[in-house]
Amino acid sequence: MGGGEMKNLWIIANWKSNKTIKEALEWISYVGPKIEKRENLKVVVCPPFTDVPEVKKAVTVGNFPLMVGVQDLSPFDSGAYTGEEAANIMRDFIELAILGHSERRQNFGETDEMVAMKVIQAVEHDIIPLVCVQDENTKIPDQVRLVAYEPTFAIGTGNPDTPENADQVAKSFKDKLKEVEVLYGGSVTSENVKAFLNKDNINGVLIGTASLDPEEFVEIIDSCLLI
């Protein structure tokens, strides 16, 4: 980085399987107006699929600097795939898709091959694939420019990795993959977020539990902006 170029700062809320449409809209109306418009600040909310159209509408009407994403995508194009959410349908609402989250790998048998198919669908339909990995050995498809390092011991446990180790893992991805940005995820809160973002190789955070509370989420954004 140099020449006055600003590093992107990604703050991504992964609501997982939480929030009714009513709760989702309450969150948007609290958080949306409080996000500062800054070129390098990329705040993304990833609700459950059923909330996505209403969330997108609320963000558009409010003209909030908030991107909308999803937590998964179909590995196939639209067609005879019962229960799946295809990228070419979702593209009307979203800009990003979290792919290969460890909860999908553990609970739904998702493999690196399936993640690779989902990445192809995302890229083909102009959706940014954010691929989650648990360690530096997980295979990342070539087209991916955004990776989240999320060690499973840190997810939802209140026991985050150390910023130093997260930075090392992020660096190992940057050494291997050109132009990749790396996020850290796992028990991020308004208390510890700065320590991760202060590290050279970390470009943002992926937040589960702490993103559900709109006040806490705004505090996270505010503390990032002080860096």
d(CA 188, CA 102): 16
CB closer to ligand PGA, 17 vs 57: 17
**Residue 13, CA atoms < 13 Å, CB-side half-sphere:** 31
- Burial zone of 34 (CB within 10 Å; 0-12 exposed, 13-18 middle, 19+ buried): middle
Q: Kindly tell me which residue out of 184, 208, 221, 224 binds ligand PGA, with binding defined by CB under 6 A.
A: 208
- Residue 170 binding ligand PGA, by CB under 6 A: no
- Residue 150 binding ligand PGA, by CB under 6 A: yes
Q: Which of 26, 101, 216, 219 is catalytic?
A: 101
Residues ≥6 apart with Cβ < 8 Å to 119: 99, 129, 131, 141, 143, 144
Q: Which of 95, 150, 181, 215 is catalytic?
A: 150
| Cα–Cα distances in angstroms (integers) from residue 105 to residues 71, 90, 175, in the given order | 13, 22, 25
Q: Is 125 a catalytic residue?
A: no
CB closer to ligand PGA, 10 vs 62: 10
The single residue listed with the structure tokens 């996505």 is 52
What is the longest distance spanned by two Cα atoms in the chain?
Answer: 50
Which segment (31-39, 167-175, 196-204, 208-216) binds ligand PGA by CB under 6 A? 208-216
- Residue 69 binding ligand PGA, by CB under 6 A: no
CB closer to ligand PGA, 32 vs 69: 69
CB-CB contact of 190 with 169 (8 Å):
no
CB of 20 to ligand PGA, least distance (A): 19
Q: Which of residues 114-143 bind ligand PGA (CB under 6 A)?
A: none
- Residue 202 binding ligand PGA, by CB under 6 A: no
Q: Kindly tell me which residue out of 9, 10, 14, 204 binds ligand PGA, with binding defined by CB under 6 A.
A: 14
Size of the site for ligand PGA (CB under 6 A): 13
CB-CB contact of 44 with 93 (8 Å):
no
Q: Is 54 a catalytic residue?
A: no
Which segment (65-73, 191-199, 203-211, 213-221) binds ligand PGA by CB under 6 A? 203-211
Residue type, 44: V
Beta strands in 100-155 (DSSP E): 128-133, 146-149
- Residue 187 binding ligand PGA, by CB under 6 A: yes
Beta strands in the chain (DSSP E): 9-14, 41-46, 67-70, 96-99, 128-133, 146-149, 181-185, 204-207
Binding positions for ligand PGA, rule: CB under 6 A: 14, 150, 155-156, 185-188, 206-210
Give catalytic residue positions: 101, 150
